[in-house]
A = this chain, B = another copy of it.
Amino acid sequence: MDFKQYLKSRKNRVDAFLEKYLSSIDAPSRLLEAMRYSVFAGGKRLRPILAIAAYETCHTKTPCEDAAVVLGAAIEMIHTYSLIHDDLPAMDDDDFRRGSPTNHKVFGDAVAILAGDALLTQAFELLSDDKILRDIDPDRRGKIISEIARSSGSSGMVGGQVADILSEGRSIDRQALEDIHLRKTSALICASVVSGAILAGAAADKVSAMAVYGSRIGLAFQVADDILDVTGTQEELGKSTSDVTRDKKTYPALYGIENARRKAERLAAEAVGALDSFGEQAWGLRTIADYIVERKN
């Protein structure tokens, strides 16, 4: 299958599910509008595609079963909530994301905070919904919820965001930078592939291999993002302020652009190396690793 077609077909299934699911919620319309605004703001659906690709890699039956799409949608809601909160005036104070006004510019700070809260909670509501995920063993569902909560909470994504904020204006070393990004970006990306593998019923050693792949491409993604932040045009990135002007610690700032590029490539190679035992079935995950370091936005 053509890779672009592969990405598009998975993205379309996630989008279709999110569309249907978010339409089914009984909540104040203004809140739903704010949630939908950011969920459908043009994301690439990288994390859901990774969850689905990991599922397909570990599962021997029909690829991309409905449950993997549901898992991906839940992860995307968490990712979206993190973007809404990151953009708030109290945090990064961004007016634009992906070329459009950020959530709080459209709905106000209060509704934006609550839309983020609602999306985070909705993800756990979805993952624990035994009508939607009725064919999934409850123990497996529990492990997935645990994996996703751990990666997105105080010791994962939120912890990384706090460490990132506290590092502004201070000098940090490479180890501290890597620790921030392992938590802030890599943890949820890693949880996406790991939970996809758990959903597919993968054995412990396969899940561990996925965790290695996930943490490496998670970091590679962040390094590539930092490089784009320096080299990309505003049009390509769709946002107005760069992390460099905001004195955030970035890989190019600490390593130089060329070394950062090499680091991203090395991480992607390590990620692909962790997939050896999966053979041909890991085609999707391998190609995504290359895509992550080569992308332009």
Q: Which residue of B lies closest to A116 (CB)?
A: B117
B residues in contact with A120, CB < 8 Å: 117, 120-121
Expressed in whole angstroms, the minimum distance between the Cβ of A2 and any Cβ of chain B is 37
Q: How large is the interface on A (under 10, 10 to 19, 20 to 34, 35 or more residues)?
A: 35 or more
How many copies of the shown chain assemble into the complex? 2
Residues of B within 8 A of A32 (CB): 154
User: Are the C-beta atoms of A91 and B118 separated by less than 8 Å?
Assistant: no
**Is A153 a contact of B113 with CB atoms below 8 Å?**
no
Kindly supply a per-residue 1/0 record for chain A positions 116-128, scoring 1 wherever the CB is within 8 Å of any chain B CB and 0 otherwise. Answer: 1110111011011
User: Is the CB–CB distance between B124 and A162 below 8 Å?
Assistant: no
Contact B90 A165 (CB under 8 A): no
> A159 — which chain B residues lie within 8 A by C-beta?
27-28, 31, 118
Q: Which chain B residues lie closer than 8 Å to A91 at the CB level?
A: 110, 113
A25-B154, A31-B158, A130-B139 given; name 6 further pairs at CB < 8 Å: A90-B108, A90-B109, A117-B117, A121-B158, A124-B149, A128-B143
**Which residues of A are in contact with B by a Cβ distance under 8 Å?**
25-28, 30-32, 35, 81, 85, 88, 90-91, 108-111, 113-114, 116-118, 120-122, 124-125, 127-130, 137-139, 141-143, 145-146, 149-150, 152-155, 158-159, 161-163, 165-166
